[in-house]
Amino acid sequence: MEISELGEFGLIDRLAKDISPKNDSTVKGIGDDCAVISPTEGMQTLVTTDLLMEGVHFDLTYVPLRHLGYKAVMVNLSDVFAMNARPRQVTVSLAISSKFTVEDIEDLYAGMKMACTKWGVDIVGGDTTASMTGLAISITAIGEARPEDIILRSGARPTDLICVSGNLGAAYMGLQLLEREKAVYDEQVAEARRSGSKEQMEMLSEMQPDFSGREYILERQLKPEARGDIIDALREAGIRPTSMMDISDGLSSELLHICRQSRTGCRIYEERLPLDYQTAAMAEELNLNVSTCALNGGEDYELLFTVPLALNDTVAAIDDVHVIGYITEEDKGLALVTRDGGEHQLKAQGWNHLKS
């Protein structure tokens, strides 16, 4: 169905028909000029916004719309968890071009609802408008936490341990794999057009690349998970990190943010960077340095945090958490200690949102 057949309000009604609030703080959701949210007594409100643009942040050649919807919500929830808070509501705004059908947008929304259901989050509003340049998605997430629980980037202190959850570089390797296969496909399409072969074009329309054995790195790129489970595990262990943020733009970039705002230096160890086998194998196949991918790849959406040295044994016992280094005095600089014992200055080489 063409979106123009429904119109803006008809589309909103169709997307929102089975959305009902789950949180007590959601007084009124979709349906009025504003959502109504009642702050929980003793809590503070946290707000974060992310904007995803077609052709900049995602390529619909290989990104399914349902996965895109799921990812768009998860990357915002990840920011809330990175402040040691709980996400409660999101608003969803879409700019949609004429190439999308009603069913396409329903598929996108289905992924968003899946992400919200996983963490008990309410979709409480947003906006839709036309776009001349493709799809744009803007998600605003609202969370809450007690004032004493909120963790900033500026609290790291010398001798604190530097920890990360999960593993690094897999999402970047998944992206490289998808981009490689897209380049192969585009070249074959161009060749078929040059030759004027309808038969070859029909074969290409049914072609599917073989991704067997690469499922993990593809999932890390297409369907990332916000690490609320790590927040729960830290709380259960009685650990309150001194600083924390999520890894969206690459470990190096995020660690530099923490050190800059905490006015500290750091040392991290190459041999301690957590890597998955598929990540290492893909890096070798593409002739890339796997440590560089782990440091600068981005879109891992793991948690980077610091804890006091005295909690070493406690934090090391938490499943899927890895100690990769320690915080130093500011004048010691920011360094990566390589496997051969050498030191290299850490640089922010991850994703730059405004770089052409």
The pLDDT tens digits for 129-170 are 999 989 999 999 999 999 999 999 999 999 999 999 999 999
- At 330, the amino acid letter reads E
Question: Residue 337 sits in which domain range?
Answer: 153-174+219-345
What distance in Å separates the CA atoms of residue 177 and residue 145, rounded to the nearest whole number? 39
- What predicted TM-score, i.e. pTM, was given to this entire model? 0.91
Give pLDDT, residue 144.
Answer: 97
Same domain? 102 vs 202: no
Range in 85-94, 98-107, 248-257, 343-352 with the lowest mean pLDDT: 343-352
Same domain, 225 and 263: yes
Query: What percent of the chain is modeled with pLDDT above 90?
Result: 77
Give me the pLDDT at residue 350, please. 52
Domain count, the chain: 3
Q: CA–CA distance from 5 to each of 72, 92, 297 (Å)?
A: 26, 21, 42
Residues 6+ apart with CB under 8 A from 17: none
Instruction: Please report how many Cα atoms fall inside a 13 Å half-sphere around the Cα of residue 13, on the Cβ side.
Output: 5
Residues 195 and 54 in one domain: no
**What pLDDT does residue 186 have?**
80
Asked if residue 351 is part of any domain, the answer here is: no
Question: Mean pLDDT throughout 328-351?
Answer: 88
Structure confidence at residue 204 as a pLDDT band (50, 70, 90): low
Give the pLDDT of residue 18.
78
Q: Are residues 264 and 194 in the same domain?
A: no
259 and 331, same domain (yes or no) = yes
Nearest one of 327, 341, 170 to 271, comparing CA atoms: 341
If asked whether residues 330 and 273 sit together in one domain, one would say: yes
What CATH number does residue 51 fall under?
3.30.1330.10
pLDDT top residue among 2 and 99: 99
- Answer yes or no: do 37 and 144 share one domain: yes
Same domain, 301 and 160: yes
Identify the pLDDT of residue 205. Answer: 66
Which residues are within 8 A (CB) of 86 and not within 5 positions of it... i.e. 6 or more apart? 80, 143, 144, 145, 228
Q: Which of 50, 324, 331 is nearest to 165 (CA)?
A: 324
pLDDT score at 353: 47
| Alpha helices (runs of H) in the chain, residue ranges in sequence order | 3-16, 65-81, 102-118, 170-195, 198-205, 215-222, 228-236, 251-262, 277-285, 290-296, 312-316
Checking DSSP bridges between strand 264-269 and strand 334-337, what pairing results, if any?
A: parallel
Instruction: Note whether 167 and 211 are same-domain residues.
Output: no
- The answer to whether residue 356 is domain-embedded is no
